[in-house]
Structure 1
Amino acid sequence: MTNRATAAVELQAVTRRYGTGESAVTALDRVDARFEPGSFTAVMGPSGSGKSTLLHCAAGLDRADAGRVVIDGVPLDGLSERNLTRLRRTRVGFVFQSFNLIPALTAAQNVALPLRLAGRRPAAGEVSSVLAEVGLGDRAGHRPSELSGGQQQRVAIARALVTRPAVLFADEPTGALDATSGKEVLRLLRTAVDRHGQTIVMVTHDPLAAAHADRVLFLADGRVVDELTGPVDAELVAVHTARLEAARTVGA
């Protein structure tokens, strides 16, 4: 039997609303979701279904209006902003569609940034090791402008992994990349799960990207409405996505 305290991330009846009165929008509606250590979950759904809101609430970037979020055994609702920031810096990694690298810093300095923000000097070889993991051991001294888009995203992945977080959240990580670079990024994420037991939660609209995951959660109108578990097939993901889009069109 699984010990419930071991989840990398757990959402319990999480609700998030924006606005007030008649204009209020419920982005998440009592969502329950559990992400096990070493799992790779893709989150999909039509535009406006609550995918990014789920990621932001699960990562502690946004506060839920009701319900509970627990990261690595720590409930977020009882944390001060300072302690929440500390938790995000040490236990959570982020990879976004826009790479969010600091232009004036080298690849190595960008990767080391989360450690320095957490008040820790990188150990000898720590940064070079994680850059080597993403195939950029020879690009440590290059600035973002000297790297391709795919290389910049790999630096962003290295930066997310350097703290060995309990969970890595990825929001459309291949959205700004060509097909070849996108496949390489997905391969690196898959390797992080298989080789290092990294937990990854990835928002995507791409069935081919979702097929790299162990599980796909489908959202509609702020609720989890369907789920596929691995091995995940891209064609099956596309069928489920099209079904949700069709249902949304009929209901509009």
Structure 2
Amino acid sequence: MTHDVAQDGTDHAPDTAIRLRSVTRRHGSGDTSVTALDQVSLGFPKGTFTAVMGPSGSGKSTLLQCAAGLDRPTSGSVVVGGTELTGLSETGLTLLRRERIGFVFQAFNLLSSLTAEQNVALPLRLAGRRPPKARVREVLEQVGLGGRARHRPTEMSGGQQQRVALARALITRPEVLFADEPTGALDSRSGREVLTLLRGMVDGEGRTVVMVTHDPVAASYADRVVVLVDGRVNGELIGAGPGVGAEDIAARVTELEAASC
């Protein structure tokens, strides 16, 4: 299950959706500073599903935030689809995130006063664009909620709310979808439904998905598992396919984490 990478850890192929080169992120300064990421170099090929794992405090969420333009690295570079993020203004980063990147988090972050279709349309409205009703219905159908368009979050289960959040992330047809513990607040059945949808978006649409997770079952849906320990890439695994290989992944991740001690 091991996977060889380039000497600097990046993927230099032209079909790379995201590339991190020597990314370091420190919080604070002086003796009290904390290094969340330490010289991380990674490439994420287009049309692939990557899971990022590691112990608590290993830098998983910081990696996602830097790769998605939600946080700026202290040093190093991040390139999304040929665009260097570290040189963009705050306005430029906002536009890039709004138009080219989708997000799904453990917390669904839906507005309780809005219906499912209104929540899905919100990113377009915030961008000053009129949401095409057909497109809103299309993404709701895609996540299996075509019949729940007029329901509010309080009228839906947790799994349904996460699928609304997923539809909202897809409304702009993003190049990359970032998911931070997307199944963390769901029961196992709802979690599998969301993971199957993510897997289908990679296989059926060629979408690029990067998911932070602590769950080896969730990671088994990915093509590749990147293991972080103390802010550094400590190894990679190749997933065995949807729903398969969770025990192997758990064992290998434990080995890689232990090897760094």
Shorter-chain TM range is over 0.9
Decide which of 229, 235, 246 is 2:247's aligned counterpart.
235
CA shift at 1:147, angstroms? 0.7
SS class of match (2:160): helix
Whole-angstrom CA distance in 2 between matches of 1:195 and 1:244: 32
Against the structure 1 CA distance between its residues 14 and 3, is the aligned structure 2 distance closer, same or farther, given a 3 Å change threshold? closer
Partner of 2:228: 219
Contact 1:160–1:168 under 8 Å retained in 2: yes
What do the CA deviations read for 1:101-138 (whole angstroms, capped 9, x no partner)?
Answer: 11111100111111122222122410001000100000
What do the CA deviations read for 1:48-91 (whole angstroms, capped 9, x no partner)?
Answer: 11100000000000000100001111101111101110000010
Contact 2:175–2:207 under 8 Å retained in 1: yes
* Consecutive unaligned residues in structure 1, runs of 5 or more: none
Whole-angstrom CA distance in 2 between matches of 1:159 and 1:145: 17
CA shift at 1:245, angstroms? 4.3
Whole-angstrom CA distance in 2 between matches of 1:240 and 1:55: 22
Confirm or deny that 1:153 pairs with 2:165.
no
In the alignment of these two chains, the number of paired residues is 248
Query: What one-letter code is carried by the residue in structure 2 that aligns with 1:49?
Result: S
TM-score when scaled to structure 2? 0.91
Query: What one-letter code is carried by the residue in structure 2 that aligns with 1:221?
Result: D
Contact 1:46–1:244 under 8 Å retained in 2: no
Whole-angstrom CA distance in 1 between matches of 2:27 and 2:259: 24
Whole-angstrom CA distance in 1 between matches of 2:186 and 2:133: 32
CA shift at 1:97, angstroms? 0.3
SS class of match (2:110): coil
Contact 2:221–2:239 under 8 Å retained in 1: no
Contact 1:42–1:204 under 8 Å retained in 2: yes
Decide which of 209, 215, 219 is 1:210's aligned counterpart.
219
Contact 2:234–2:257 under 8 Å retained in 1: no
* Consecutive unaligned residues in structure 2, runs of 5 or more: 1-10
SS class of match (2:146): coil
Confirm or deny that 1:77 pairs with 2:89.
no
Partner of 1:118: 127
Whole-angstrom CA distance in 2 between matches of 1:236 and 1:183: 18
**RMSD between aligned residues:** 1.4
Percent identity (aligned): 65
Deviation above 6 Å: which 4+ runs of structure 1? none
